[in-house]
Structures are given as structure tokens and as C-alpha cells.
Amino acid sequence: MAASCSANRAVLNNCVKLQIMCNRHHCGGIFIRRIWTTRSKCQLQSKLQCKSAPQMVGVVALEIHAQIQAASKLFSSSRVGFSAPPNSHVSFFDASLPGTLPVLNRRCVEAAVTTGLALNCKINTKSLFDRKHYFYADLPAGYQITQQRVPIAVNGSLNFSYLVGRKRNEVMTKSVRVRQIQLEQDSGKSLHDDQRSQTLIDLNRAGVGLMEVVMEPDMCCGEEAAAALRELQLILQTLGTCQGNMAEGQLRVDANISVHHPGEPLGIRTEVKNINSARFVARAIDYEIQRQIEVLESGGTVLNETRAFDSKTGKTVPMRDKEGLQDYRFMPEPNLPPLFVYEGLASVPDGVDPAHAVLIDRLKAQLPELPGVKRMRVMEEYGILPEHSFTLVNEDGLIDFFERVVQATVMEPRKLIGWVIKELMGNLNQQNLKIRQSPVSPEALAQLLDLLESGFISSSAAKVVFQEMWKAPEKSVEQLVKELDLGLISDREELIKICQKVMDAHPDLLQVIRGGNKKVLNKMMGIVQKESKGRANPVQLINILQEMTS
């Protein structure tokens, strides 16, 4: 999770920076050479602007396989677990023993309907399953059960926003059409041992439920696709229908890419398969767009082929032939009756147990607040900036943490957002921790902020205490403040004592102040604060100093 988030941010950062450069150095020759090696949409465009021919643009569609978060597989009762010992979660059906039959897992259907609703899809109340045939060692039945003819959800859209601009504080909003969401089985895993020329098969993943989200070619570059992917990932995580961990393969991306001149028919597309991080999605797409443009510009033709992204070289390469043209010999799955879901209780026919029926209106009512809505809400409710709303909502669990702090402290949300986004996230990222692993609880942070807000400690002292809380979470905030002796000095006598000491040590400054240069008073205050380790109550201090120097 954390890894892919930060990766994604890095992509955005990278692109945004380059865009700024584009604006500044409009088509500088040297600049082109430089962007050439780093490959980004923005650079591509700037390069093309130098050409006299009309600009070619990329057209991108994503097909995303999302593993359904469920206790058991799509058609069998074996458990789903990522790091289980090989072949420990394999039912007779998963191993395709003859005579076994698929039994549909209702939880997977509900997940697909829920996801369809969140993506504004039309839910097909009757959908069908099909067999897709190909021989592969990790596909034990010789076919995959999928939904080719009538999928469970169609005609939706994914709305997403991302940040652009110099300070990454401008919000760009886009919408991509979702053609369909289909339920299908995952395959097992093959492990090739080239030295001993053998292949090891792990069927733990075989038969795990997938939702394939098929998007229309509505995107134009890697940055956009990565942002769409990131938003989909967030939505799925919010819904609880997919854990969305790309490193564990819970979310896998195929990108269909072509280039054309705007207004002309779409070009021949290639498919880059199985990209396993948002960052790579952006890189693979931008590389592929550039490659296709080059091919066409040099008079060649783009082949309709399947390609793979090599993350080491940053290039896409054609996949081996057998992955190319295949006739999947689709056929209706005869062992599964049509899949019916119902609008509501009233539309469940006699003979169907309502307790076992999938009801669209019930799932709709249970939809949680989606990320886009949540960002708008937190901006309005807490008066925070758009970029802060992105961080709050995009980091798993951060918004909950934030809202708990807000509830527990007297400090205003607008003022405390920095503490959560800079101090807390900074520390977490540094130690590679998730939010729910934070040693500092929202309540403890709230206590600290209360002390700060009430003037009991200074802002700089609060930062010191925060670091100590991190190291010693078992100690209370008051205890730490006491131990570190960081409480503000508000005792008049003590303050006078310190001021006197400083004035004695700097008679020259005192003279200047008394001579009428009140600006130097600030310098004097700084020295006093340094002497008191920042503990002097600033309001009292200024009064005392004014009295003593007048």
C-alpha cells in the first residue's frame, strides 16, 4: 500500500515538475534531448510542438483485474490467502478434478455489484458465465470461467481528480467511461526453473474471484492513467471489495495503447500486459506512446501485439508468440445457471430464498462515502486546502486519524492539518509504517495540540515533545513535558531573572534599545528565548522586556 502510494506521488511530482519546465523553456533544443530520456507525456508534447506536422496524441484504455476481497474463492470454498504455503488453498474444483462443479460465491457477486454501483454502472439483473479456453500449466481446467457475453455491470464511469501545477495545488478532474465489469476466475502461478528446465505450479490463486474492470479509451497519457488507477484502487479499498495491493497482485493492469491525429480514427493498438505498479503504468504507457509515434513517423506500422513492460529498462517488449493471436473458443458455461440479482426485495420471485438473493437496493444503501465525495466534504467541513484533502483521503486510514484528532482537541482543523500531514506522515514514511501502526495515537496527539493551543508549551517545544512521544509512546504527554522541562515559564520573577541575565551580558544592545531603536528589542527577545530554551511565555516576555528596557 504505502509503497504504491508514494510511488504514485513520485510520478505526479515528476510530471508536474517537467511541465513547469516545458512552460518556461518552450521547445529548447537541449531540453528536448533531456526529456527524451525521461519520457513523460509533457515532454512528448513539447517535443511534438516543435514539429510542423499536426501533433499525434496517445489514446489509452485500461483493463484492470481486481482480486475480490473474500474469504473464499469464486466457485469453491477454499480460502484465499496471499502468502500461504504453495498449494495449501486448493479444493478439488480448483485442481479441476473431473466431476467437480462450480458453485458461485455470493460474496463475490455482491462485491462486483457494489463496485459497479460505485462506478455508476448499470447492473445487469441477469448475467451469464462463459468458458474461455487456452492451455497453460497454471490453468488446470484448460479454460477460465468468465463473463464474455453478458457481464454483471456495464456502462459506468470513473471520475477522478489529480493535482497539477507548480505547487501541485491545482485540481484536474477527469471522467473515464467504464465499459463493463465482469466476474472471472484468477489463474494459478507458474514458477519456471530454467536451470532444471521444469515448471512449478502453485494453485493457491487458481479460482480466486476477479473483477475485470474494462475502461473505454478515454485517456491520453501515463500520468492520467496512473491517476485513474490510483482512484480506482482507493474506491475499491473504500468499498472493501479489493485490498488493492499491487505488489501482491491484487490489482493488475493491462493497458491498451494507440496513437492518432486528433479527429482521425484510432490507430492500431498494442496491449501492455500485467503492469504491477501505478508508477510503471505511467512509464509503460508514455514509453509505448512515444515508441508508436516514432514507428509511424519513420514510416513503419504499429503491430497489433501483446507487449510486456520491463521495469529495469523502462521499455516495452513484444511478448512471445503464444501469448499473441489465440482463438479462445468461447462457450457458455453449462454448469452454472444464469446469474440473477434483484432490484429489491419486491422483485425476488417465488422459489428464491430472499436471504440468499443479491439485492441491488440493499447494496446501494450500504455504499460508504467514496473518496471524491470525502475530499469535497473535508475541504468544506474543515476548511483545508485541496492538496491536503488528497493526502488525507488517499493515505489509507489517515482521514480517520485526522478526524479523531479533530474530535479530541480544541485546536482548529485548519491549524492541526500540518501536524498530521507533515509531522505524523513524515515520521511514518521515514520508518515505513502504516497509519494504523503509528506509535502516537490520535488522542495523544490531540493532548499535545491542546497544550500548544492553551499556550502551555511553545510550537517548537511541541515538536520536540512529538518526537519524544514517538520514541516513548507509553508515557503521557504531560509526563514528557514535565520530564523534558518544556513547560512555558510564566512566572514573572523567573522571567525577570532571565531577562536581567541577558541584559547584563549585552549592554550594547540595551543601549541601542534605550536609544530608541525598538527593532533591536526583537533580537533581545530571541536571545532570551534561546536562554530559556524556548520556554519563556512570549506574551509575558515582551511586556517584561519592554518594562525593563524603557
CA-CA-CA-CA torsion sign (255, 259, 264, 265): negative
The one among 54, 262, 337, 455 contacting other proteins by CB under 8 A = 337
CB of 154 to other proteins, least distance (A): 22
Is residue 97 a contact point for other proteins (CB under 8 A)? yes
Is residue 280 a contact point for other proteins (CB under 8 A)? no
Is residue 143 a contact point for other proteins (CB under 8 A)? yes
Compare residues 199 and 500 and give the one whose CB is closer to other proteins: 199
Which DSSP helix (H) or strand (E) runs through 70? Answer: none
Compare residues 339 and 398 and give the one whose CB is closer to other proteins: 339
Is residue 149 a contact point for other proteins (CB under 8 A)? no
How far is residue 165's CA from residue 91's CA, in Å, rounded to a whole number? Answer: 52
Instruction: Quickly count: other Cβ atoms within 10 Å of residue 143's Cβ.
Output: 20
37 Cβ contact partners less than 8 Å away, ≥ 6 residues apart:
none
In the block, residue with C-alpha cell 459497479: 116
Which triple of cell numbers denotes residue 72?
A: 473464499
CB of 155 to other proteins, least distance (A): 25
> How many residues make contact with other proteins (CB under 8 A)?
30
546 Cβ contact partners less than 8 Å away, ≥ 6 residues apart:
521
Per CB under 8 A, which of residues 473..532 are in contact with other proteins?
none
Q: Are 195 and 249 in contact (CB under 8 A)?
A: no
How is 475-524 classified by DSSP, letter by letter?
S-HHHHHHHTT-S-B--HHHHHHHHHHHHHH-HHHHHHHHTT-THHHHHH
Is residue 300 a contact point for other proteins (CB under 8 A)? no
Beta strands in 194-247 (DSSP E): 198-202, 209-215
Per CB under 8 A, which of residues 313..332 are in contact with other proteins?
327, 329-331
Is residue 107 a contact point for other proteins (CB under 8 A)? no
Is residue 137 a contact point for other proteins (CB under 8 A)? yes
The one among 100, 120, 125, 155 contacting other proteins by CB under 8 A = 100
CB of 357 to other proteins, least distance (A): 15
The one among 1, 35, 95, 210 contacting other proteins by CB under 8 A = 95
Is residue 133 a contact point for other proteins (CB under 8 A)? yes
DSSP 3-state of 261? coil
Which segment (26-34, 130-138, 278-286, 389-397) binds other proteins by CB under 8 A? 130-138
Measure the CA angle with vertex 57, ends 53 and 58; round to 5°.
150
Amino acid at residue number 206: A
CB of 336 to other proteins, least distance (A): 6
CB of 201 to other proteins, least distance (A): 7
Which positions touch other proteins (CB under 8 A)? 92, 95-104, 131, 133, 135, 137, 140-143, 199, 201, 327, 329-331, 334-337, 351
